[in-house]
A and B are shown apart, each in its own frame.
Chain A
């Protein structure tokens, strides 16, 4: 896999470090009851988020899943506004109404995390239809997990994207476990790319622990979409280091399996080695980067902690526009 240039590579590395530190920090805060409703930790899946989002333009659209901190950070939202959302404070990106599972800001091209498996891909497909209707040069990316591969609506959306040749990229952020169910136990045929190909979609199974590979496949998919060549399906195989939800102590996988992925496939360790080997940075500079990330996340926690709660009297705001009742 070809390595991006120095500036890009260092940005990719830092972005992955931000996600890891954010998640490790938020996980502990969640256990202390600071995160309303708990959260879904994406540690281990950094390369998928950073690889995809680094290949998109700022104005491209994403819609995502119940596990979306990493996508949202990689999209360019700050740790401050995401941590504040986890704390359900008014300064959070959803104004404190969404917490961990409902991060989103439509005006910034983030069409939302989602509490319902598979829903994000449908919304992303709709956004791609909107892009096509308006003739804009953008793409829409729908993130989905391996669990979402077995809900019917996913394939309705994929079929529709194919027949309309929509500028859609479907990213399977495949951490291999739908809560506690291993993907291989519940997925007929087994090969997800082949399943998508059956719908006529260009499809790839790729290494979701390699940020450069994810970035490359996404970038090529984006170019095809912009050229009017339609959607692409990318199954990025990755691994979730923590439980489905914070505090989960599952027996569905072995500690050895988790350690094997961490010690041999970790996306950040892997890319640090690449950066060092390329001479883009030395160890001291990598350590310095890590320290600056640490400070940024600590600042985010302090910001969230000191942010005001939303005004309860706004509960009726933004349910509807009020325009329907107006005599035009």
Chain B
């Protein structure tokens, strides 16, 4: 695990979406092979303003408006990437990837292995639970992370959005780039054009002395609130932001287990078959002797996400449920 590699100058306080724009702009200026394809990008700038103004700056040939044809969008990205471009396919919502799942899991992920080629491709989408109901709130990261050939980024801050998208755009690999919709408007520092976040390197976002919470994405925000409340009760919790789910920073996870022996793993996806299951299993297999008790997972319930706000909140972790989990590991 590294702490944030902030050697470069921190320059602005843009939003999470603007941080994406900043990283993409810099890389598009450097690499003429980068183009963006998706729906409603040129004028609207995407549903989260994630590419606002880029068509005006770089031209409509490099920010291509697409019909609502997810399979064709991703296939266009895969074929163009194989040909030597570096496309960004913007699906707006990761839920829409279901219409292109063969292109992602079967094609993009496996071409390098068989065909003496490479697929430098970013598939960007928002992910995670917010209002919008069952068809706009899927957490699919475990599906992508468990597919050989794909990497998955899940930034939680503007700094990491920019640093990770720039790394993705310098690599030769297909990357699933998931931005949590509830983070779209948050603001924070970003660094200059020389700042890159490597995949597979978690970051400690809060220091502690009693236990660790390992998480990513919007859950980092909830975890921080829980940690503050626990601090008032005399429990000091470190929070580790994974930043990417594949590659996964196993070293950071194992170090946390060894250091505290008390670990909570947290995300919004239904717990069954989730990334939290993977982390808990791996950490337990490798460092069972260091654990003071079972790793506790906090995640979503096994239910579709309701459009009713209270019911949607009830489906995912809360400050209270995280505090309860930490107290459980503290009881060992």
Contacts of B81 in A (CB 8 A): 126, 130
Which residues of B, 76-108, contact A by the 8 Å Cβ criterion? 76-85, 102-103, 106-107
Contacting pair B198 A325 (CB below 8 A): yes
Contacts of B61 in A (CB 8 A): 133
Give the Cβ gap from A105 to chain B, nearest Cβ, in Å.
Answer: 5
Contacting pair B198 A127 (CB below 8 A): no
Name A130's contact: one of B80, B112, B149, B167 (CB within 8 Å). Answer: B80
| A307 interface contact, C-beta 8 A | no
Name B111's contact: one of A95, A106, A107 (CB within 8 Å). Answer: A106
Which residue in chain A gives the minimum CB-CB distance to B247?
A325
Contacting pair A111 B79 (CB below 8 A): yes
In the complex with contacts A106-B111, A153-B71, A122-B79 CB distance below 8 A: yes
Contacting pair B200 A324 (CB below 8 A): yes
Contacting pair B82 A130 (CB below 8 A): yes
Name B117's contact: one of A106, A115, A160 (CB within 8 Å). Answer: A106
A-B pairs with CB below 8 Å: how many? 175
Q: How far is the CA of A134 from the CA of B64 in the complex (A)?
A: 14
Name A131's contact: one of B33, B83, B103 (CB within 8 Å). Answer: B83
Give the Cβ gap from B148 to chain A, nearest Cβ, in Å.
Answer: 5
Name B85's contact: one of A98, A133, A319 (CB within 8 Å). Answer: A133
In the complex with contacts A122-B78, A321-B171, A94-B85 CB distance below 8 A: no
Name A105's contact: one of B75, B106, B116 (CB within 8 Å). Answer: B116
- Render B11-36 as a binary contact track against A, CB cut-off 8 A, 1 for contact: 00000000000000000000001010
> Could you tell me how many residues of chain B have their Cβ less than 8 Å away from some Cβ of chain A?
54
- Render B166-191 as a binary contact track against A, CB cut-off 8 A, 1 for contact: 11101111010000000000000000
Which residues of B, 103-138, contact A by the 8 Å Cβ criterion? 103, 106-107, 111-118
Chain A interface: which size bin?
Answer: 35 or more
| A205 interface contact, C-beta 8 A | no
| B216 interface contact, C-beta 8 A | no
Contacting pair A98 B72 (CB below 8 A): no
Contacts of A304 in B (CB 8 A): none
Give the Cβ gap from A322 to chain B, nearest Cβ, in Å.
Answer: 9
Give the Cβ gap from A326 to chain B, nearest Cβ, in Å.
Answer: 6
Beyond A104-B114, A126-B82, list 16 extra A-B contacts (CB 8 Å).
Answer: A95-B116, A97-B113, A102-B114, A105-B115, A119-B103, A119-B107, A123-B75, A123-B79, A124-B79, A129-B85, A153-B71, A153-B72, A156-B75, A320-B151, A323-B170, A324-B198
B binding-site residues for A, Cβ under 8 Å: 5, 33, 35, 61, 64, 66-67, 69-85, 102-103, 106-107, 111-118, 148-149, 151, 166-168, 170-173, 175, 196, 198-201, 244, 247
A binding-site residues for B, Cβ under 8 Å: 61, 63, 94-95, 97-98, 102, 104-107, 110-112, 114-116, 119, 122-131, 133-134, 140, 152-153, 156-157, 159-160, 163-164, 318-321, 323-328
Shortest Cβ-Cβ A-B pairs, 7 listed: A126-B79, A106-B117, A122-B75, A130-B83, A130-B80, A156-B72, A324-B199
